[in-house]
Amino acid sequence: MNARSLEQIAAPEEDLVFTPEVERSTAAIYERIRDVVPEIEWPVHAPYIAAILKLKVERRAVILAHNYQTPEIFHGVADLTGDSLALAREAAKTGADRIVLCGVHFMAETAKLLNPEKTVLIPDLDAGCSLAESITAEDVQLLRQRYPGVPVVTYVNTSAAVKAESDLCCTSANAVEAVESLGTDRVILLPDEYLARYVAGKTKVRVILWKGHCEVHERFSGEDLSTYRRQYPNLSILAHPECPPDVLKEADFVGSTAGMIRYVGTHRPARVVLVTECSMSDNVAVEFPEIRFVRPCNLCPHMKRITLPKILNSLLYDEYRVDVEPGIAQRARRAVQRMIDLPGGSR
């Protein structure tokens, strides 16, 4: 894009005001999310939403947002939303020129692996993940030396370099299917200890694990949940498998973020707690206003780096491009594609 056309579409800060036109054009969005976004915040969000909605069409961009994004992003500007598995599948299908990934870096890398010809953007390059940072490619090579012949299944919350050392990727939605699909009696499942322990309890395959943890989910405890249950005897507890075992023991359902949303839609509990990142409850509450949500709040600081102003910049200036070194990309893509080709993804 040349400087002149950029100037034409650029929305300088002073233009981002809450005009009557902006209020009108975003009124239907606000109506949907008014229970989870305070009225006082809307004049700040709405001008960005209006500018992003216009610009994403001009830039032939698709905005993918993870379930942990804040409601003004999730319900305001995203074209497609979902868990890690759904975002990977959508990224593989899109016909857009640009993919703006509102999530964390490994998700944008996965989108790039599946779309090597497209421009993949993340609005903040520092949106990382404690699980992805817990293991390196060299660690995986050492594990292979220690357990010769044992296949490696890698959680999608890892760098492309780690995926490149793996036989197959998985997400929390398909980890059991992924482990069983290899037909071996032992599998190395990396890097989340608690997900690996959970999977080990669901299969006859022996699981060799790594001690990586999610800094958000490891903060929940089984004791917290017993306290909620005492206070609300009819409470349904849904937990993400990255939580510690005592939390999962207390849960009525364990599954990926998409699995939890499906459970809420199918079972319509009167009162529910989603034991996961806190924006999830806001986003799901919008769809189910009759359900009462108990909301312990553990924020993912990496997910929260993505904001509307950064998404606008991303579209305006193609910031920040995510690229994967071709030698790594080729091997990592094979592991991700094998996951996409797995049937199911049920949890």
Kindly state whether residue 300 participates in binding ligand SF4, applying the rule CB under 6 A. yes
Kindly state whether residue 278 participates in binding ligand SF4, applying the rule CB under 6 A. no
Kindly state whether residue 129 participates in binding ligand SF4, applying the rule CB under 6 A. yes
Partner from ligand 13P, ligand SF4, none contacting 256, C-beta within 5 to 8 A by type = ligand 13P
CB 300 within 8 A of CB 263: no
Kindly state whether residue 131 participates in binding ligand SF4, applying the rule CB under 6 A. yes
- Least CB distance from residue 189 to ligand 13P, whole Å? 15
Task: List phi, psi (to 5°) of 82.
Answer: 160, -170
Instruction: Compute how many residues bind ligand SF4; rule: CB under 6 A.
Output: 13
**Composition of the chain by helix, strand, coil, percent to 5:** 50, 15, 35
* Distance separating alpha carbons of residues 34 and 208, to the nearest angstrom: 46
On the CB side of 156, how many CA atoms lie within 13 Å of its CA?
32
* Distance separating alpha carbons of residues 321 and 307, to the nearest angstrom: 17
**Residues of this chain that bind ligand 13P (CB under 6 A):** 67, 83-84, 157, 171-172, 214, 240, 242, 256-257
* Distance separating alpha carbons of residues 19 and 273, to the nearest angstrom: 38
- Least CB distance from residue 295 to ligand SF4, whole Å? 16
Partner from ligand SF4, ligand 13P, none contacting 172, C-beta within 5 to 8 A by type = ligand 13P
Kindly state whether residue 312 participates in binding ligand SF4, applying the rule CB under 6 A. no
211-230 residues in contact with ligand SF4 (CB under 6 A) are 214-216
49-108 residues in contact with ligand SF4 (CB under 6 A) are 104
Of 244, 227, 226, 283, the closest CA to residue 260 belongs to: 283
Task: List phi, psi (to 5°) of 155.
Answer: -60, 145
Q: One symbol per residue from 235 to 264: x for binding ligand SF4 (CB under 6 A), - otherwise; what is it? A: -------x----------------------
